[in-house]
Structure 1
Amino acid sequence: MIGWHQLRKDRMAILSIWLLALVALAGLFAPMLAPHDPTNTNILQKYAGISLTYPLGTDHLGRCVLSRLLYGIRTTMLAAMLTMCITMLIGSALGLIAGFFRGKVDGVLMRLCDVMLSFPAEVMILAVVGILGPGLFNIILANVLAKWAWYTRMIRSSVLQYANEPSVQFAKVTGGKPFYILRRHLFPRISGEIAVFATLDAGWVILNISALSFLGLGVSAPTPEWGMMLNEAKNVMVTHPAHMLAPGLAILFVVMALSFLGDSLQHAANPAMHHTRKKGVRPFAFNRRKKSVRT
């Protein structure tokens, strides 16, 4: 379980939460914050500089960069959230079933996971998107297919740690139904680990979505998306290098915030590890002390 009191004391975690919240709010209220329509083109304003009318300038079609950046939050963050929710739902359900029932059910699910994990995730994502074609739905489907097996195996290993606890065994002996035991005893125990897995991997999903759009396999134009903005800016990287800064820094800060938050959640879920790292305990200090006493 996550120690929320300890998490509140972590300044990096609080800063990451505030940053992610501000980004989410900016995307939610993009129609009110964006100064222009993100798909409206004006060739006469092509590559316009920074001004009050265009706070971040315009791109090669005269579209407002700031407006596209704000609306791009919706596309990138929404795709990442949907991907993580679907992946964690499938992984949690199959992991709980495999770890609780074991036997043939566990064997079949683990062999299926072995097959899926034998393919590199990036290769599978490119293959699925290459076969189905570009599009937001296909990106989400490709990422889910590439990651559900890993989550299933990780959550199964977490369930095995708690399956033999007295409370779980008592619930079985007293005739508790499997669904009740999974919902009331096992799922609350692994919910903290699920949150850690989802937060740490959300940055990886954002990078994948942006990379596919950058390669032309993701969201199709004129939909504003950070990876697509980088793809369009790379053609003028020499003459107008500033056009890559806005989407590039947006991806960098969001992924960093998710990584720091996931690390803080991991420390909060395992206070012993955090205490050891904070105090700098050396694993061989006891042996050296014992040896010095002998001498």
Structure 2
Amino acid sequence: MRLIERLKKDRLAVLCAGILLVIIIVGIFAPFIAPNSPIDVNVKEKIAGVSWKYPLGTDHLGRCILSRLIYGIRTTVVLSIAAMMTTILIGTLLGLLAGYFRGKVDEIIMRICDVFLSIPSEIMILAIVGILGTGLVNIVSAAIIAKLAWYTRMIRTIVIKYSDKGYIHFAKVNGLSTGHIMKKHILPGAAGEIMVLATLDTGSVILTISALSFLGLGVQAPTPEWGMMLNEAKNIMTVAPLQMLFPGLAIVLVVAAFNFLGDSLQTSHHIKGDNITR
């Protein structure tokens, strides 16, 4: 609650949170907000200019750019948030086990993490997509696997810090169960730092998914996705250069909003840089 009160006083944080909230709501209710179908092809109206029917014009296949941007929120933003939440959930579970129990459990989990961390995340994502193939589920799985080891290690560090607090030792002496200590004492304290990690890195997941789609390795047509829209727009850049502007601005806006919000959370929570530096 104190963290929320501090954020309310930060105008930039409120603005970024408001932007993200509006974008997510628009994506969820895309069928009711989008002016046209995002996948219907109308070659007769390809590369059409701005009009009441097509507020941002049409692409090379006559599809409404605004509608594709709106529906693209689901695949680019909502999907990235879902991938990050899954990563955080699994990473928190493994980090809790490693940081609280230490010993052999910690050793096994950390050695597995070391193996994954020895491979650059970008190369690992490309390798996983190359093995599993393109598609929505595969790129999300690749993003989760590539980032899971780093989050497990970082959350383990946070858990160890809180496990060494005096009130945790007091709780153990009083015979409180492990589950109770984790749920009531460790997780509430670590939640703020974990939230900062997730917020700061969500923008990078969005860039990863968009980059894979731009390269043709991610979301496949006709599903609307901002990175794929950039890929399609580059083919007609000499004819209609503005078509790359709208999905590009959308990606920049959302990634910047997540980064600024993460910085505000970090400042509000008084986290030292060493705890969130890769």
Flag the 1:271–1:106 CA change in 2: closer, same or farther, 3 A: closer
- Give the corresponding residue for 1:121: 121
CA separation in 2, counterparts of 1:214 and 1:234?
Answer: 10
Where do 5+ consecutive residues of structure 2 fail to align? 274-278
CA distance in 1, matches of 2:93, 2:16: 29
TM (norm. structure 2) is: 0.95
Indicate whether 1:150 and 2:150 are aligned.
Answer: yes
CA displacement at 1:77 relative to structure 2: 1.6
Equivalence for 1:136? 136
1:52 is aligned to 52
* Residue of structure 1 equivalent to 2:85: 85
Say which is worse superposed, 215-224 or 157-166, in terms of deviation.
Answer: 157-166
Q: Which residue does 1:32 correspond to in 2?
A: 32
Task: Quote the Cα distance in structure 2 between the aligned partners of 1:175 and 1:265.
Answer: 35
**Within 1, Cα distance between the matches of 2:238 and 2:251?**
21
| Per-residue deviation, 1:3 | 2.4
User: Is the CA contact 2:76–2:225 (under 8 Å) kept in the aligned structure 1?
Assistant: yes
CA contact (8 A) 1:2 1:192 kept: no
CA distance in 2, matches of 1:19, 1:91: 28
Deviation sequence 1:265-292 (CA, Å, 0-9, x none): 000100899xxxxxxxxxxxxxxxxxxx
What is the CA–CA distance in structure 1 between the aligned matches of 2:35 and 2:149, rounded to whole Å?
A: 43
For residues 270-289 of structure 1, what are the structure 2 equivalents within 5 Å? 270=270
- SS where residue 175 of structure 1 aligns? coil
Amino acid at match of 2:118: S
CA RMSD after TM alignment:
1.4
User: Which amino acid in 1 is paired with 2:73?
Assistant: I
Looking at structure 1, the residues matched to 134 and 271 of structure 2 have their Cα atoms a distance apart, in angstroms, of 43
* 1:233-261 residue CA offsets vs partner (Å, 9 max, x unmatched): 01011221100011000000000000000
Q: Which runs of 4+ in 1 moved over 3 A?
A: none
Q: Which is higher, the Rg of structure 1 or of structure 2?
A: 1
Amino acid at match of 1:74: R
Q: CA deviation at 1:78?
A: 2.3
Match of 1:109 in 2: 109
Which residue is 1:62 aligned to?
Answer: 62
1:61: how far off? 0.6
Secondary structure in structure 2 of the residue aligned to 1:257: helix
Q: Is the 8 A contact 2:76 2:206 kept in 1?
A: yes
Q: 1:221 is paired with a residue of what secondary structure? A: coil
2:124 counterpart letter in structure 1: M
Cα deviations across residues 75-134 of structure 1 (Å, max 9, x unaligned)? 112210221111001110111111100011111111111111000000000000011111
The question of whether the paired residues in 1 share the 8 Å contact of 2:193 and 2:271 is answered with no
Query: Which residue number in structure 2 is paired with residue 15 of structure 1?
Result: 15
**Is contact 2:24-2:78 (8 Å) kept?**
no
Q: Which residue of 1 is the match for residue 276 of structure 2?
A: none
Deviation of 1:53 (Å): 1.1
Structure 1 residue aligned with 2:186: 186
Determine the C-alpha separation between the residues in 2 that align with 1:21 and 1:165.
Answer: 36
Q: Residue 242 of structure 2 corresponds to which residue in structure 1?
A: 242
Q: Contact 1:2–1:268 (CA<8 Å) still a contact in 2? A: no
For residues 209-248 of structure 1, what are the structure 2 equivalents within 5 Å? 209-248=209-248
**Conservation of the 8 A alpha-carbon contact between 1:213 and 1:219:** yes
**% of aligned pairs identical?**
58
Alpha-carbon separation, structure 2, partners of 1:216 and 1:156: 36
CA distance in 2, matches of 1:23, 1:3: 23
